[in-house]
Amino acid sequence: MDKKLFTMEDCIKDSDYKEDYEGKIIVMRPETLKDQYRDERFQLWLGGSGFGCDPSLRGRAVFATCLYDNEHAEWRRENFLGTIKPEVLPDWARLKLSQMKPHSSAHEREQTPKYSGYSFLENGRYKAGVGLYSEKEAMEYVELQKPYQHRIMICDRDDFNVLEFIKGEMIHPSKEDLEAFLSEQEQSGNSMRMNL
């Protein structure tokens, strides 16, 4: 990998002070990094939690995970340039992101995943599926991946495709079928939320 550095030009305009960082790929300011870590691999972080994620709150702490090495750390909001433009995110970072999910299931070790999440690059490359333990976790995985991945598939335990997106648009099942299913779930008390 070359020693390219991301700059403000690679970030969504005004995202440094207008956008919530939770569940977004955020770009570390190069000057924040020690010399030996000053390259693009260590600039890309997945925003997790902390009052600093929300620009309207007074807190500054941002808890994030480095895409390259999975390091979890606490930073300050001002350590970041903003959220990266999806079109400039390199393929290596998309593949790393495809293996991440926003939150882990509390009983991951005790359960068998209900679903597997797959995210594909435009050329068809992907890494192994990610175990997802509930419908809620499957939806969170989709929402995290949608801005950055070419294609996303959620498969059930038998590896049947139950949900698929291409370029952020749902192609399977049809929007009408999914809305009917969600309505039925809501009426039975198993409410799920998803941005279609």
Tell me the per-residue pLDDT of 89-117, one tens digit each, with 9 for 90 and over.
999 999 999 999 876 656 566 689 999 99
Q: What is the band of 174 on the pLDDT scale with cuts at 50, 70, 90? A: confident
Beta bridge partners of 175: none
CA atoms of 130 and 133, how far apart (whole Å): 10
At 11-60, the pLDDT tens digits run 999 999 999 999 999 999 999 999 999 999 999 999 999 999 999 999 99
Beta bridge partners of 32: none
Where are any strands of DSSP class E within the chain? 25-28, 44-49, 61-66, 72-76, 80-83, 115-120, 130-132, 151-156, 161-166, 169-172
At 46-72, the pLDDT tens digits run 999 999 999 999 999 999 999 999 999
Is 60 or 4 the better-scoring residue by pLDDT? Answer: 60
66: closest CA among 98, 43, 86, 91?
Answer: 43
Judged against a pLDDT cut of 80, whether residue 196 lies above it is answered with no
Predicted TM-score (pTM) of this structure = 0.84
CA–CA distance from 182 to each of 74, 187, 195 (Å)? 37, 9, 12
At 144-164, the pLDDT tens digits run 999 999 999 999 999 999 999
The distance from CA 143 to its chain's CA centroid, rounded to whole angstroms, is 7
Q: What is the pLDDT of residue 109?
A: 67
